[in-house]
Chains A and B, each alone.
Chain A
Amino acid sequence: HTHLDDEAQKELRDFHEALDLWTTFQTRTHSLALSLASQLRLILTPSQATKLSGAYKTGKRLRIRSIISYIASDFKRDKIWMRRAIPTKRTYQIMVCVDDSMSMLNNGAGALALESLVMMTRSLTMLEAGQIGVLGFGEKTFVAHSLGDPGFSSHDAGARVLQQFTFKQEQTNMCELLRTTISHFSEARLRNSASSGSEDLWQLALILSDGMVGKSERETLRPLLREALEQRIMCVFIMMDNAKGSGSSVLDLKEVEFVKGRDGESTVKLVKYLDSFPFPYFLVVHDLEDLPGALAGLLRSWFSEVTR
């Protein structure tokens, strides 16, 4: 009966409650959403081509290699300048993945994640950055808003997404999330290339979670993260942690290992949790106010690395 269980109506938050929540969050985070949008605009829109190239009579920078022939030709071969080529138009598909597991109820991580979700989707909608999807994950990954759906300009669309997050899933299956994200993105890439051809498509997964991933899963995640990278999917892990200074922050969290010594005796070893965290790009957010700047900073450095 498992498939029946799966289809059994997922418990939803009341629509009016979700609508209130969306409206409250949207109002409260409006200025943050604007700030994120203006920072992302600079990063996501290539204002210039990445490289100077060509040989022109006028241009931006001298092409040193041409100088000798310029002089040798009695200043006749004067195409000694390089210009920036016209920037390629980039399009984006952005998947916001929200942790729907029970652990999100600790330290108010769930509330912070939903508020961040509203802020980010509003910001990306304002930017018209491209398609936005929302996935929920826990024991099972589900589509809360598919990439093809219209954006988040109406409160109703937002409320229907919020309705689906109740933080009742009893496991956090991050590997399944990664697999689902990769397969959604590869389908979306096909659909995109069929419709718009040669545009430069970038796919971004933004994961909002408390960061609690099982030990064995952290290992299984590594090959999946490599696969995502090979598929040119960028995964940013945004850790919701508003427990800074209370002792239960993920920054302080340690895990216990019993290490067997050569004499067969085991000793207690404490290891920093974040040291074995498998996502190479992650942020720890204590306060929603930090998010726009931190996210923009991370994306900026990532883009400058990949487009160099």
Chain B
Amino acid sequence: MDGHSTTEPNAQVKVIFDTPEADLQLPESKRTLLVPSDIRRYGLSRILNSESMLETGAIPFDFLIDGSFLRTSLDDYLKANGLPHETTLHLQYVRSLIPPTYEASF
């Protein structure tokens, strides 16, 4: 792990998904989820693509929180912004413009 994380194992964050893309809307009952708080963009993409969610297979997604792209884990995002784990995060997902092979570098 990243070493400086003091978060308890199994920590979760509540997220609400939303998207501007008309063809990728989720039904309301699937928009709110509890996710492991050490999750990053790749894990979130996998969740959205999964059979229980959008069933889209392997579309790489990018996630916007408060207008900027998520480039860290949710844990680190919370820490960097001084937010407690009690916070509900609003995640806006969009099709990633970065080719999937780029994934390995972050």
Q: Which residues of A contact B (CB under 8 A)?
A: 101-103, 106, 170-172, 212, 214-216, 246-248, 252-256, 258, 267-270, 273
Contacts of B88 in A (CB 8 A): 103, 106
Q: A106-B88, A248-B31 are in contact. Are A268 and B10 (CB under 8 A)?
A: no
Which of the residues B12, B29, B50, B85 comes within 8 Å of A255, measured between beta carbons? B12
- Residues of A within 8 Å of B46, CB to CB, are 268
Residue from B10, B32, B33 whose CB has the most chain A CB atoms within 10 Å: B32
A171 touches B84 (CB 8 A): yes
Query: A254 contacts B50, CB within 8 Å?
Result: no
Chain B residues in 8 Å Cβ range of A214: 8, 10-12
Report B71-93 CB contacts with A as 1/0, cut-off 8 Å.
00000000000001111100000
B50, A268: Cβ atoms under 8 Å? Answer: yes
Size category of the B interface is 20 to 34
Contact between A216 and B9, CB atoms less than 8 A apart: yes
**Pick the contact of B47 from A171, A212, A215, A268 — CB < 8 Å?**
A268
Output the nearest chain B residue to A254 by Cβ-Cβ distance: B33
B64 at the interface (CB under 8 A from A): no
Q: Please tell me if the beta carbons of B36 and A170 are within 8 angstroms of each other in the complex.
A: no
A172, A212, A247, A270: the one contacting B28 at CB < 8 Å is A247
Residues of chain A with a CB closer than 8 A to B12's CB: 214-215, 255
Taking a contact as CB atoms under 8 Å apart, the answer to whether A212 and B9 are in contact is no
Q: Which residue of B lies closest to A218 (CB)?
A: B10
Binding site secondary structure of chain A: mixed
Q: Are A270 and B33 in contact (CB under 8 A)?
A: yes
A216 and B8 contact, CB distance less than 8 A: yes
Total number of residue pairs linking A and B with CB closer than 8 Å:
74
Question: Which residue of B8, B52, B86 contacts A268 across the interface (Cβ within 8 Å)?
Answer: B52
Contact A256 B36 (CB under 8 A): yes
The distance from the CB of A168 to the nearest CB of chain B, in whole angstroms, is: 10
Whether A215 pairs with B10 at a CB distance below 8 angstroms is: yes
By the criterion CB–CB under 8 Å, are A256 and B86 in contact? no
Distance between A179 CB and nearest chain B CB, rounded to angstroms: 18
Given the known inter-chain contacts A215-B10, A254-B34, A255-B12, please indicate yes or no for A170 contacting B86, CB distance below 8 A.
yes
- Contacts A/B (CB < 8 Å), 5 sampled: A102-B84, A106-B88, A215-B10, A248-B31, A256-B34
Asked whether A103 lies within 8 Å of B28 as measured between CB atoms, the reply is no
**Could you mark each residue 1-30 of chain B with 1 if its beta carbon is under 8 Å from any beta carbon of chain A, else 0?**
000000011111010100000000001111
Given that A248-B31, A253-B34, A268-B50 are known contacts, is A171 also in contact with B11, CB under 8 Å in the complex?
A: no
* Chain B neighbourhood of A216, CB < 8 A: 8-10
B29 contact set on A, CB distance < 8 A: 247, 252
Q: Tell yes or no: B43 within 8 A of A by CB.
A: yes
Q: Which residues of B contact A102 (CB under 8 A)?
A: 84, 86-87
Contact between A258 and B84 (Cβ–Cβ < 8 Å)? no
Contacts of B47 in A (CB 8 A): 256, 268
Question: Assuming A102-B87, A248-B16, is B28 touching A255 (CB within 8 A)?
Answer: no
* Contact (Cβ within 8 A) A256 B35: yes
* Interface hub of A101, A258, A269 (most chain B Cβ within 10 A): A258
